[in-house]
């Protein structure tokens, strides 16, 4: 058996085209284009690529992107002042501060400074809380993108056993809440989890967000499972691999995402969806 490959690039392109169309329609009705402020501190190569992709997506679909490329030495106080200015700016719908941030800046303080209504990353405690309470508004981009990929399989999810490997604030935890909303019975694993292999062997949906190359072995995958790989790890030889041993896993799964070209493009597309949603829900 060989799994169907879930083409994240194709699913994200379709979403972006739909968003573009909606922005054009709204523009014809006299509504301004949505706008996203993207703040980048320093020049970390990976962060610079992510930010470039986000800005390119904005350009592609008619979201106005406002760039703040700040020195890595920027103080927490100055960053907070900038965010507060953007919070008060009625022409800005979304604010994104690219992480990781330098050590002198407390990322939790920064993410809480962004008004929940402009928190298009979906990281603010209020937005995570709304997701936990089954009233999602601005949803964390990567988990929201994963749900769209699972929906693209057209398989029913109610009652399935799902396992999330990794319990980070930005990915693993909101991912588990999203799967709960889809009617799954959810197990969240973290570094202290015992008998991980046995747990994965029972799962109908495996979402890997551990950040370790090929940490989840292919032969652990239950035949017919859906496998979603959020990991992006660069090996010494330059090759990009996920958190799942893809070549073996794909002989067992029913559907599997590749790395690259799986979850990555969805994170950008859902960021665009959130930016338009923020404008629709909250712009005066």
Binding site for ligand GUN (CB under 6 A): 50, 96-99, 121, 141-142, 267
Give the shortest CB-52-to-ligand GUN separation in angstroms: 13
**CB nearer to ligand GUN: pick between 84 and 247:** 84
Which residue blocks in 189-261 are alpha helix, DSSP H?
A: 196-201, 246-249
Which of these is catalytic: 93, 98, 119, 279? 98
**Which of the following is catalytic: 119, 121, 204, 243?**
121
- Is position 182 annotated as part of the catalytic site? no
Residue 77 annotated to the active site: no
User: Residue 95 or 160: which CB sits closer to ligand GUN?
Assistant: 95
Which residues lie below 8 Å from residue 81, measured CB to CB, with a gap of 6+?
none
Residue 6 tokens read as: 């879930």
Separate counts of helices (H) and strands (E) for the chain: 10, 11
Among the listed residues 120, 105, 128, the one whose alpha carbon sits nearest the alpha carbon of residue 269: 120
Closer Cβ to ligand GUN, 121 or 245, answer by number = 121
21 classed as catalytic: no
**DSSP three-state, residue 129:** helix
What single DSSP character describes residue 244?
A: B
Strands 94-97 and 35-41 come out as: parallel
Q: Which is nearer to ligand GUN, 141 or 244 (CB)?
A: 141
Q: C-beta of 191: minimal distance to ligand GUN in Å?
A: 20
In the bound state, the residue with its beta carbon closest to ligand GUN is 99
| Active site positions, annotated | 54, 98, 121
């Amino acid at each position: 058996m060989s799994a169907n490959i879930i083409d994240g690039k194709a699913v994200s392109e379709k979403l972006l085209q739909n968003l573009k169309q909606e922005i054009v329609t709204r523009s014809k009705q006299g509504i301004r284009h949505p706008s996203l402020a993207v703040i980048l501190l320093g020049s970390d190569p990976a962060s610079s690529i992510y930010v470039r992709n986000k800005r390119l997506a904005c350009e592609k679909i008619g979201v106005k992107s406002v760039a703040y490329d700040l020195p890595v030495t920027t103080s927490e106080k100055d960053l907070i002042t900038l965010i507060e200015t953007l919070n008060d700016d009625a022409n800005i719908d979304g604010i994104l501060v690219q992480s990781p941030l330098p050590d002198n800046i407390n990322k939790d303080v920064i993410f809480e400074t962004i008004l929940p209504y402009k928190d298009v990353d979906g990281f603010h405690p209020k937005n995570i809380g709304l997701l936990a309470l089954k009233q999602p508004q601005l949803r964390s981009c990567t988990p929201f993108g994963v749900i769209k990929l699972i929906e693209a399989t057209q398989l029913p999810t109610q009652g399935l056993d799902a396992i999330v490997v990794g319990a980070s604030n930005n990915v693993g935890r909101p991912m588990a809440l999203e799967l709960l909303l889809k009617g799954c019975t959810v197990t969240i694993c973290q570094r202290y989890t015992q008998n991980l292999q046995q747990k994965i062997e029972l799962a109908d949906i495996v979402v890997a967000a551990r950040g370790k190359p090929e940490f989840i072995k292919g032969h652990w995958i239950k035949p017919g499972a859906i496998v979603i790989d959020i990991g992006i790890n660069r090996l010494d030889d330059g090759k990009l691999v996920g958190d799942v041993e893809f070549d073996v896993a794909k002989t067992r799964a029913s559907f599997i995402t590749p790395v690259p070209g799986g979850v990555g493009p969805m994170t950008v597309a859902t960021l665009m969806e959130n930016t338009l949603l923020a404008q629709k829900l909250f712009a005066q």
